[in-house]
Structure 1
Amino acid sequence: MKIILDVDPGIDDAIAIALAHKWPGIEILGITTVGGNLPLEKTTDNGGKILKLLGANYKVYPGMAQPLIRELKTAENIHGPTGLGYAQLPEGKEYIADKHGVDFIIEQVNKYPKEITLIGVGPLTNIATAIKKDPSLPQKVRGICVMGGAVFTQGNVTPAAEFNIYVDPESAEIVFNCGAEIILVGLDVTLKVLLTREHLEIIQKKGGSLGESIGEMTKFYLERYLDGNKLPGCALHDPLAVAVALDKSLVSMEKMYVGVETKGELTRGATIGDKLSRFNKKPNVYVCTQVDSNRFLELFLDRILDHTN
C-alpha cells in the first residue's frame, strides 16, 4: 500500500510517522506538514528531524501554514515549545523538499490513481486545499483516514470539539463531503489506547535510539495527560489512525452522515454524527466506534521494537 502522511509534529505525530515507517509492506511516498500543533516552520523542522532519526528514504513537503479562513491555534502546552517534548533530535533539514505539500499530494495521487491512502493526523487544511485545486482528487485516492473529531464523546480542546477539527473546521467539512472513502478515527476510540509508563519503560529499554527518543518525547506528553486529563497514560491518537488505515480490523465502524459545526460560538469544530438519519443526508464517513485496544497496543510495541527495519 502507498501512503502519504499529512502531519503537524507534535509528539504523537512523530510516533505515528515512526509506526508507519516500521510497518512492513508499506510504501511511504512522503510526508506533508501543516500548521497545527505548532506553526508550520516548526512542524516541518520536526518532520525533518524525525525522518533523519528513522533514516528514511522519503522527504517532508511543507504545506499550508494557516487554516482556510481562521487564525491558527497551536498546542505547545501539550507538546512542549519544540513540539517534541524533552527530546533533542539532530537537525534534518536535508529531508525538507522544495515542493509545496499540496502540490505533492496532487502530483502523487494523479501519478498513482486508486493506489494512495491519505492519512491526515493534523488539521485538514492541506487535503482540503488539494481537493479545491483538483476536484477530481477524491475519486483518485484509495481512501482518506483522518485522526479527528469526537462524535460520541467530549472534545479535548472544548467540550464540543477535538483539536484537529477545531483548528480548521471548514477544511474538515470539505474533506468529509468530498466523496472519497473517509474513515474518522476520533476521540471515541483514541482515548481507549493509552501508552503507560510501563509501556514507555519497555520502549526505552528495548527500542534502541528510536525508543530512547520516543521515551524523551513521551515523558512530557504523559505529564500533560496526568495533569490535564487525570489519565494513567497518554492517548496514541495519531498512531491509532495510522494503524487503522493499514489494518481496519482493529476497529468497529459505522457509516453515517457527519457534519462539522463551522458557525457555532460554543460548538466550533463539533463533529455531529447523525446515527439515526435525522438530517436525512447521505452517510459520508465511516466513524470508528470501538477499538481492540489490547491488540493495537501489542501491535504498536511489536512494530516500534522491531529492529529489522
Structure 2
Amino acid sequence: MALPLLVDCDTGIDDAIALTYLACRDDAEVAGIVSTGGNVPAATVHRNNLALSELLGVDAPVALGADRPLVEPPMFAEDTHGAGGLGHAVLPEATRAEDPRSGAQLWVDLARERPGELVGLVLGPHTNLALALEIEPELPRLLRRLHVMGGAINHRGNTGATSEWNIAVDPEAAQRVLAAFASAPQLPVLGALQATEQIVFTGAELERLEALAARSAHPVARILAEAVRFYFEFHQADGFGWTAHVHDPLVTAHALTGEFASTRPLPVDVELAGTLTRGQTVGDELGRWGRGPTVELLDEVRPAEFVEHLLGTLEAGLG
C-alpha cells in the first residue's frame, strides 16, 4: 500500500523536486499539501503548489498556510529560488481549486482522519505545524511519524553563521514542534545540513535533467530543468561553483523508503535568544543537558546512490 504523506513546504526549487519525486512513486500517496511562506511568500508558494499538483496529477487538498512567522517579520530567499520560487521556470495558472481550510487545520483534520497512518513531512518553516499543535496537542501521537528538513548540527549555517533557512525563518515554531514531538511514539527524523548538503548536483546531473526535458512531453520535466539551472547559477554566485545542493529530496526519500542514510538519536533544541546564534539547532553530543534524545538525526548518507535513485525516479516518472 502507498504511504500517505502530508507535505508542508515553501516551494522552492528543491521542494518542487521533492513533490515531483513523490508523484513519480507508486508507493507514495500525497494526502495533502500545506503552502508555507519561506523561500518566497506564502501566496507565491501556494500558486506553485496548486500548479505543480495539477500538472503532476496529484489529487490532494492544497491549503494556504500562515503568511508570516509566529514572532518575527517574514524573510524570503528570492536570490536562491527566484522571484516566483522556481528560478527560470514559469508555471501556468492552476485551474484546480484550493482547499478552503487553513494549513494548520489541514494538518489537524488529516491526522484525525487517519490516526497512526499519516506521515508528516516538513520541508519548509514549521509555522503551520506549530499552529496546528495549538488546535490539536495530540498530533505527535496521531501522526505515524514526522520527518523534517532543517537545522545544522555542528555544521556551518546557510542563513546565519550557524543557522539553517527553514529553522531561521521561524525559530519559535521549530522549537515548539521539536519540543512537542520529543514525546511522540517514534522520534521525529531530522535531516540537517550536514546530511543534505552531501546531495550535490554537478553539471552531469543538470545535463540529465535537460536531456529529460528535451525528450519528454511532460511539462514538469522542462519546469525542473529550468528551475535547477537557476539553482546552479545561484550556487555559483554564492561561491560553490557550478553545482547545487539538493536538500529536500533526501529527507523525502528517506521518509518514504527508510533508505539512503542511517539515523542516530540526539537531543536537539533551537536557540531563540542568542545575539549571534538565534535560530541555531544545537545538538547535545556530550549529554550535558541530562535529557534524552529528541530526534533521530540523519547520518551516514550515501549520496551517489541517492542521486542515481532520484534522477532515475524522475526519468521513469516524467519520461
Q: Using structure 1 for the length normalisation, give the TM-score.
A: 0.96
Structure 2: how far apart are the matches of 1:172 and 1:229?
Answer: 29
* 8 Å CA contact retained: 2:253, 2:259: no
What letter matches 2:234 in structure 1?
R
Structure 1: how far apart are the matches of 2:152 and 2:20?
Answer: 25
* TM-superposed deviation, 1:242: 0.5
Which residue in the other structure is 2:101 paired with?
99
Which residue in the other structure is 1:135 paired with?
137
What letter matches 2:162 in structure 1?
A
* TM-superposed deviation, 1:195: 1.4
Structure 1: how far apart are the matches of 2:131 and 2:291?
Answer: 24
* TM-superposed deviation, 1:122: 0.4
The match for 1:189 among 195, 198, 201 is 195
**1:257 lines up with 2:267 in the alignment:** yes
* 8 Å CA contact retained: 1:183, 1:285: yes
Structure 1: how far apart are the matches of 2:243 and 2:97?
Answer: 32
What letter matches 2:39 in structure 1?
N
* TM-superposed deviation, 1:290: 2.1
* TM-superposed deviation, 1:21: 1.1
Which residue in the other structure is 2:7 paired with?
5
Structure 2: how far apart are the matches of 1:14 and 1:93?
Answer: 19
Task: Note closer, same or farther for the CA distance 1:57–1:78 as it changes in structure 2 (3 Å cut).
Answer: same
- What is the number of equivalent residue pairs in this alignment? 309
What letter matches 1:245 in structure 2?
A
**1:284 lines up with 2:302 in the alignment:** no
Which residue in the other structure is 1:157 paired with?
159
Which residue in the other structure is 2:35 paired with?
33
Q: Using structure 2 for the length normalisation, give the TM-score.
A: 0.93
Please provide the CA RMSD for this pair: 1.4
What letter matches 1:262 in structure 2?
L
Task: Note closer, same or farther for the CA distance 1:232–1:290 as it changes in structure 2 (3 Å cut).
Answer: farther
**1:233 lines up with 2:243 in the alignment:** yes
* TM-superposed deviation, 1:93: 4.6
* 8 Å CA contact retained: 2:111, 2:118: yes
Which residue in the other structure is 1:56 paired with?
58
Farther off after superposition, 86-95 or 236-245: 86-95
Which residue in the other structure is 1:45 paired with?
47
Ranges in structure 2 where 5+ consecutive residues have no aligned partner: none
Which residue in the other structure is 2:224 paired with?
214
Farther off after superposition, 299-308 or 289-298: 299-308
What letter matches 2:315 in structure 1?
L
The match for 2:278 among 268, 291, 303 is 268
* TM-superposed deviation, 1:308: 7.7
Detail structure 1 runs of 4+ shifted over 6 Å in the superposition.
Answer: none
* TM-superposed deviation, 1:170: 0.7
Deviations 1:250-270 (A, max 9, x none): 112111110100111110110
Identity of aligned residues (%): 33
Structure 1: how far apart are the matches of 2:315 and 2:199?
Answer: 18
Which residue in the other structure is 1:306 paired with?
316
What letter matches 2:89 in structure 1?
A
**1:244 lines up with 2:254 in the alignment:** yes
Structure 1: how far apart are the matches of 2:166 and 2:318?
Answer: 33
* 8 Å CA contact retained: 2:233, 2:242: no
The match for 1:68 among 67, 70, 76 is 70
* 8 Å CA contact retained: 1:255, 1:287: yes
Ranges in structure 1 where 5+ consecutive residues have no aligned partner: none
* TM-superposed deviation, 1:200: 1.7
Counterpart secondary structure, 2:269: strand
Counterpart secondary structure, 2:275: coil
* TM-superposed deviation, 1:175: 1.1
What letter matches 1:238 in structure 2?
D
Structure 2: how far apart are the matches of 1:34 and 1:229?
Answer: 28
Deviations 1:236-290 (A, max 9, x none): 1111110111122311211111010011111011000111111111210111122
* TM-superposed deviation, 1:50: 1.1
Structure 2: how far apart are the matches of 1:294 and 1:59?
Answer: 34
